[in-house]
Chain A
Amino acid sequence: MEISALIARFDEMVDNALFWLGDHAAFLFDFFRVVLEGLYDGALWLLELPPFYVVALAAGLLGWRVVGRGFGLGIAVALLACAAMGLWPETMSTLALVIAASIIALAVSLPLGVLAGLMPRLDRALTPVLDLIQTLPPYIYLLPSIALLGYGPATALVATVIVAMPPAIRLTSLGIRQTPHEFIELGRATGVTPAQMFFKIRLPFAVPSIMAGINQSLMMAFGMVVIAGIVGSGGLGETIYGAIRTLDIATSIDASIAIVILTMMLDRLTQGAARPRKGARK
Chain B
Amino acid sequence: MTLPTAFSPGAFLAPAIDWLNANFHPFFALVTRVIEAVLGAFEGALLALPPWALIAVVAVAAFLAINLRAAILAGCCLGFCWLTGLWTGSMQTIALVAVAVAISVAIAFPLGILAARRPAIEAALRPVLDIMQTVPPWVYLIPAVMIFSLGRVPAIIATIVYGIPPMLRLTTLAFRGVPKDLKELGEAIGAKPGTILWKIEFPAATPTLLVGLNQCILLSLAMVVLAGLVGAGGLGAEVTRGLTRMEMGLGLRAGLAIVAVALLMDRLSRGALQQGRRWRRPGAAG
Shortest Cβ gap from A188 to chain B (Å): 37
Q: Mark B1-39, 1 if CB is under 8 A from A, else 0.
A: 111011111110110011000000000000000000000
Interface residue? B229 (CB, 8 A): yes
* B5 and A84 within 8 A (CB): yes
* A227 and B138 within 8 A (CB): yes
* A143 and B239 within 8 A (CB): yes
Interface residue? B98 (CB, 8 A): no
* B9 and A85 within 8 A (CB): yes
CB contacts under 8 Å to B, within A261-280, are: 263-264, 267
B250 neighbours in A (Cβ, 8 Å): 11
Contacting A138 at CB < 8 Å: which of B131, B222, B228, B249?
B222
Q: Which segment of A28-36, A64-72, A105-113, A243-251 sits at the interface?
A: A243-251
* B7 and A18 within 8 A (CB): no
Residue of A nearest to B250 (CB): A11
Shortest Cβ gap from B260 to chain A (Å): 10
* B134 and A84 within 8 A (CB): no
Shortest Cβ gap from B166 to chain A (Å): 13
Shortest Cβ gap from B249 to chain A (Å): 3
* B13 and A244 within 8 A (CB): no
Q: Which segment of B64-72, B142-150, B276-284 sits at the interface?
A: B142-150
* B229 and A241 within 8 A (CB): yes
Residue of B nearest to A241 (CB): B229
Q: Which segment of B42-50, B176-184, B240-248 sits at the interface?
A: B240-248
For A83, A143, A147, the residue with the greatest tally of chain B CB atoms inside 10 Å of its CB is A143
Shortest Cβ gap from A8 to chain B (Å): 9
For B136, B137, B139, B218, the residue with the greatest tally of chain A CB atoms inside 10 Å of its CB is B136
Chain A interface: which size bin? 35 or more
A7 neighbours in B (Cβ, 8 Å): 84-85, 249, 253
Interface residue? B83 (CB, 8 A): yes
Interface residue? B170 (CB, 8 A): no
Q: Given known contacts A84-B5, A89-B1, is B226 in contact with A136 (CB within 8 Å)? A: no
Contacting A249 at CB < 8 Å: which of B7, B17, B82, B244?
B17
Contacting A244 at CB < 8 Å: which of B2, B229, B263?
B229
Q: Complex formed: what's the CA distance from A202 to B135 in Å?
A: 33
Interface residue? B212 (CB, 8 A): no
Residue of A nearest to B84 (CB): A7
A86 neighbours in B (Cβ, 8 Å): 2, 6, 8
* B248 and A15 within 8 A (CB): yes
Residue of B nearest to A267 (CB): B134
* A263 and B10 within 8 A (CB): no
Q: Complex formed: what's the CA distance from A85 to B1 in Å?
A: 11
* B84 and A85 within 8 A (CB): no
B252 neighbours in A (Cβ, 8 Å): 14, 143, 147
A237 neighbours in B (Cβ, 8 Å): 138
Q: Given known contacts A139-B226, A256-B139, is B249 in contact with A14 (CB within 8 Å)? A: yes
* A88 and B262 within 8 A (CB): no
Q: Complex formed: what's the CA distance from A194 to B154 in Å?
A: 56
CB contacts under 8 Å to A, within B60-96, are: 82-85
B247 neighbours in A (Cβ, 8 Å): 11
Q: Given known contacts A11-B249, A230-B243, A247-B149, is B136 in contact with A259 (CB within 8 Å)? A: yes
* A84 and B249 within 8 A (CB): no
Q: Given known contacts A3-B83, A89-B1, A250-B11, is B258 in contact with A136 (CB within 8 Å)? A: yes
Q: Given known contacts A3-B85, A142-B243, is B141 in contact with A137 (CB within 8 Å)? A: no
Q: Given known contacts A249-B146, A252-B146, is B138 in contact with A257 (CB within 8 Å)? A: no
Q: Which segment of A114-122, A172-180, A218-226 sits at the interface?
A: A218-226
Q: Closest 9 A-B residue pairs measured CB to CB?
A: A11-B249, A253-B10, A250-B10, A137-B222, A223-B136, A84-B7, A254-B10, A14-B249, A137-B225
**A binding-site residues for B, Cβ under 8 Å:** 3-4, 6-7, 10-15, 18, 51-52, 80-81, 83-86, 88-89, 135-140, 142-143, 146-147, 219, 222-223, 226-227, 229-231, 237, 240-241, 244, 247, 249-254, 256-257, 259-260, 263-264, 267
7 A/B residue pairs, CB under 8 Å, sorted by A: A85-B6, A139-B225, A226-B136, A227-B137, A227-B226, A230-B244, A241-B229
